[in-house]
């Protein structure tokens, strides 16, 4: 929270809950610009360097571009151990802070864990951005592999997708919609589970009034059980959406193409769906991850004593922002890059049924 964006977000909290949310959303939207430029430069550079390698097909055309992109993708994935290490730092520091609070340690100890937690939010956002970048490169490769596979199965050249065709454009719209629907379901799942936990905590406070005075121990296991079971149950629907959508769209438009004399229509529509979903997914994930982390760190900045400190109106507004940001940065955001890779892989594997 020593950086200007987080401090600006914290300052917005001083004028209420609404301005905190507005500032956080605008910060998340703005944060998509620079990473997209970096990813774009990386893809173009890798493709260009690959083309200069001298790899040619049987007709003498350069084919090294995809090879260069593949090497760049492997370069990003080869640092997976380091990325996982950075990603684990945040949850460990966050849990340490919780243990400090529950064990009633001195305030000075909590101040140290708060700083570590704030750093952890930053490392989590960084590693999720890294995952998004690798997903973009991987999806570009898988999309090219999909087009090659369609060409091989259909014995027809399939090198480009024309979004001026209405059906193909509709496939793109469906792909973009898929990202928003998936994000909505993921956030809604967190909200429903949070309501269950809150109701359980209220029940325990009523039945065990000594909890607030540390005379009785809460039933932690019940809350953990609610969250663990909901985490598995609630993600069935978003997961099914990612698997079923490309198959259903490809099959429906394959039948439509058969009756309209367009044999590759199903394959083209699914290709557009994958392209639009990848583009929207990258932007959405960047927005969710950055906004969520900034809301959390703005709250921690106020808790250091700035703008009234804990218990102030600014702090209450920042807590609201942090509550909104948690499903953004911990559920929907990280899930989107997995969704993008799932869509690309399923599309590639199921390519024959679209023909």
pLDDT tens for each residue of 273-319: 988 998 899 899 889 988 988 898 898 889 888 888 888 889 999 99
Residue 22's pLDDT is 93
What are the residue ranges in the chain where pLDDT is below 50? none
Q: Which residue, chain included where needed, has tokens 């607030």?
A: 212
Q: Look up tokens 């702090």; give the residue.
A: 315
- DSSP class of residue 162 equals -
Residue with tokens 């009633």: 104
Looking from the CA of 158 toward its CB, the CA atoms found within 13 Å total: 24
* Burial classification of residue 141, based on how many CB atoms lie within 10 Å of its CB (0-12 exposed, 13-18 middle, 19 or more buried): middle
Given a contact cutoff of 8 angstroms between Cβ atoms, the answer to whether 97 and 110 are in contact is: yes
Packing angle, helices 313-327 and 17-30, rounded to 10:
40
Nearest CA to 139 out of 352, 346, 340, 350 is that of 340
User: What is the CA angle 26-31-37, rounded to 5?
Assistant: 140
pLDDT given at position 172: 92
* Cα-based distances in Å from 156 to 85, 149, 169, 214, 333: 46, 10, 21, 73, 38
Contact present, 291 and 24 (Cβ < 8 Å): yes
Percent of the chain with pLDDT over 90: 20
∠ CA 117-123-126, rounded to 5°: 145
User: Looking at residue 211, what is its pLDDT?
Assistant: 81
Q: What DSSP state is assigned to residue 215?
A: S
| Environment class of 183 (CB within 10 Å of its CB; exposed 0-12, middle 13-18, buried 19+) | buried
Give the per-residue pLDDT at 160: 82
Per the listing, tokens 């990612």 go with 242
Q: How far is residue 349's CA from residue 238's CA, in Å, rounded to a whole number?
A: 20
DSSP string covering 67-106, please? HHHHHHHHHHHTTHHHHHHHHHHHHHHHHHHHHHHHTT--
The pLDDT tens digits for 174-201 are: 999 999 999 999 889 888 998 999 999 9
pTM of the model: 0.85
Q: Which residues of 94-106 are buried (b: 16+ CB within 10 A; e: fewer)?
A: bebbeebeeeeee
Report pLDDT digits (tens) over 129-159: 788 888 888 888 888 888 888 888 888 888 8
């Amino acid at each position: 929270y020593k950086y200007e964006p987080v401090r600006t977000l914290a300052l917005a909290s001083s004028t209420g809950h609404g301005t905190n949310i507005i500032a956080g959303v605008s910060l998340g939207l703005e944060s998509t610009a620079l990473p997209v430029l970096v990813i774009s430069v990386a893809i173009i550079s890798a493709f260009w360097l690959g083309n200069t390698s001298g790899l040619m097909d049987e007709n003498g055309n350069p084919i090294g571009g995809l090879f260069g992109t593949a090497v760049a993708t492997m370069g990003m994935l080869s640092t997976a151990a380091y990325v996982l290490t950075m990603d684990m730092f945040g949850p460990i520091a966050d849990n340490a802070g919780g243990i400090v609070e529950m064990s009633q340690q001195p305030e000075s100890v909590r101040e140290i864990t708060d700083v570590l937690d704030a750093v952890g939010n930053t490392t989590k956002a960084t590693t999720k951005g890294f995952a998004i970048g690798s997903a973009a490169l991987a999806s570009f490769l898988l999309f090219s592999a999909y087009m090659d596979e369609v060409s091989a199965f259909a014995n027809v050249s399939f090198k480009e997708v024309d979004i001026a065709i209405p059906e193909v454009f509709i496939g793109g719209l469906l792909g973009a919609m898929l990202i928003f629907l998936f994000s909505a379901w993921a956030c809604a799942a967190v909200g429903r589970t949070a309501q269950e936990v809150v109701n359980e905590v209220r029940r325990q406070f009523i039945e065990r009034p000594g909890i607030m005075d540390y005379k009785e121990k809460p039933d932690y296991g019940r809350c953990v059980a609610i969250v663990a079971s909901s985490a598995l149950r609630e993600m069935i629907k978003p997961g099914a959406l990612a698997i079923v959508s490309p198959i259903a769209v490809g099959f429906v438009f394959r039948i439509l193409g058969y009756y309209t004399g367009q044999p590759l229509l199903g394959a083209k529509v699914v290709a557009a769906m994958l392209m639009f979903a990848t583009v929207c997914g990258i932007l959405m994930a960047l927005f969710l991850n950055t906004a969520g982390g900034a809301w959390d760190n703005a709250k921690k900045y106020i808790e250091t004593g700035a703008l009234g400190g804990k218990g102030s109106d600014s702090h209450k507004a920042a807590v609201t922002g942090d509550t909104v940001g948690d499903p953004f940065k911990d559920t929907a955001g990280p899930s989107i890059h997995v969704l993008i890779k799932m869509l690309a892989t399923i599309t590639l594997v199921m390519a024959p049924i679209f023909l």
